[in-house]
Amino acid sequence: MPTENGVSPEVKDQAALHSPNLNSPSADRRFSVNRPLVAVGILILLAFVLWLVQQTFFQPRLISELPINGLVIVSNNGHMLTMADNDVTRVFEVWLGGLVELQPTLPISWDGAFSNDLKEFIQYTGNKVTRWNTETWTIADQFLTVGEVKNIAYAPDDKRLYTVSYQHYPDNEVTLETWDNEQNIKVAEYRWGHNYPLGRIPIALNEDGQLLAVALNINDRSTALYLYDTTTRQVVAQQEMPISVQSLAWQPFHDHLALGTRDKNVYLLETNSMSEVKRFYHRNGAIIAIDFTPDGCFMFAGGSSQPTIIWDVRTGNSVHEFPDANARQMIATIQISRDGQVGIIFTVSDGPSRLRIWDLSNFWPLKNC
């Protein structure tokens, strides 16, 4: 039989029967079904790659981790801290590159707070308050409060200092004293009688320094919350709550106050009406420490036997958990720097406590506000 290019006509006819006709309607149908499947597969792959990149490159990054045997005090702007360790205190600046020690070791151990401009450090022990000059770390002034100091707060411009103290005798009184930092004198005093606060008294001053929130734990199941007007020097709102408040923090750019409680919740209150706006539930343990990002969109909260959680305040959803605490540990301090770049978490435990400093600059959820 004659062949064409060495292939018989019968073989060519059989090959034509079994090869697809790309111009036929059935071929078009097959390809039209596959194109959407391929597109979906590509979208799934792109979403996975994006998620992987976010998890790998846009998460909080641990800058420093140090074991501590004492107390850590962090400035409000998050860029300076004192570290009391074995009855001595060291002073550090905090940056994205880590810790920079500023001062030789000081032979003292203290509790206290930095002024907002970082030029002063207030130390308190019992009813004795010591004002330190942080440029020379020498004592600038000393004074006595009515009772044992439980907490202190600086006004935003540092011209006023507020001390809250507790006096067991004669009337179990809590006293709020206002001090003029320029003249070094007491200018006001407000007293609450017959309260029995347990441990430290949580206080928080709002952004403009107008309202000071004070939480007095009457017992382990109820708290009296007061809002003190620093201009009129009077209590302008109060509410007794069937919860034990452990920490307070104002939400920036809002009239909202966050209350960390013993019952695992953070309550967000609208302070004009003293009504609950939102509630954030932790799995277990009291909420000891709270802080907000500078834009007020995200809240960091942690406490006993639980990790620090970042909450999106707008949605009420958690966006991240730090592996900072277990059943035998407690988050004692959370401080977010004023620029939102650095997060400081101090964890207390049975053994050495731990100071962890986190780089938040590339954490992608915090950029969505």
Tell me the per-residue pLDDT of 27-59, one tens digit each, with 9 for 90 and over: 455 445 567 777 777 788 777 666 666 555 568
Q: Which of 53-62, 77-86, 148-157 has the lowest mean pLDDT?
A: 53-62
**CATH number of 63-107+161-367, picked from 2.130.10.10, 3.40.50.300, 3.30.300.30, 3.40.50.11740:** 2.130.10.10
Which has the higher per-residue pLDDT, 199 or 212?
Answer: 212
Q: What integer pLDDT is reported at residue 227 of this predicted model?
A: 96
More confident residue, 296 or 367: 296
Measured in whole angstroms, how far is the alpha carbon of residue 165 from the centre of its chain? 26
Q: Which of 31-40, 177-186, 226-235, 247-256 has the lowest mean pLDDT?
A: 31-40
- The H or E element that residue 48 is part of is helix 25-57
**Residue linked to tokens 């709270």:** 290
Task: Answer yes or no: is pLDDT of 155 > 50.
Answer: yes
Q: What is the dihedral sign for C-alpha 280, 281, 286, 290? A: negative
User: What was the pLDDT predicted at 39?
Assistant: 77
Distance CA 253, CA 264 (A): 25
* Res 79 pLDDT > 50: yes
Quote the mean pLDDT of the chain: 83
The residues with which 349 forms a beta bridge, in sequence order, are 329
What's the confidence (pLDDT) of residue 57?
53
Q: How confident is the model at residue 324 (pLDDT cuts 50, 70, 90)?
A: low
pLDDT tens-digit map of 214-229: 999 887 788 999 999 9
Local structure of residue 351 (DSSP, 8 states): S
CB 126 within 8 A of CB 111: no
**Residue 44 has what DSSP assignment?**
H
Q: How far is CA 272 from CA 178, 238, 253, 269, in A?
A: 24, 11, 14, 9
For 193-211, what is the mean pLDDT? 83
Q: E-assigned strands of 251-352?
A: 256-261, 265-270, 275-281, 287-292, 298-303, 306-312, 318-321, 329-336, 342-349
pLDDT of residue 284: 72
Name the amino acid, one letter, at 149. V
Q: pLDDT at position 82, please?
A: 86
Considering only residues 275 and 95, tell me which one the structure prediction assigns the higher pLDDT: 275
Map out the domains of the chain as residue ranges: 9-51, 63-107+161-367
- pLDDT score of 128 more than 80: yes
pLDDT for 31 equals 46
pLDDT at 230 over 90: yes
Residue type, 226: Y
Distance between CA atoms of residues 201 and 113, nearest Å: 15
pLDDT at 196 over 70: no
**Rounded Cα–Cα distance for residues 311 and 316 (Å):** 6
Asked whether residue 282 carries a pLDDT value surpassing 90, the answer given is no
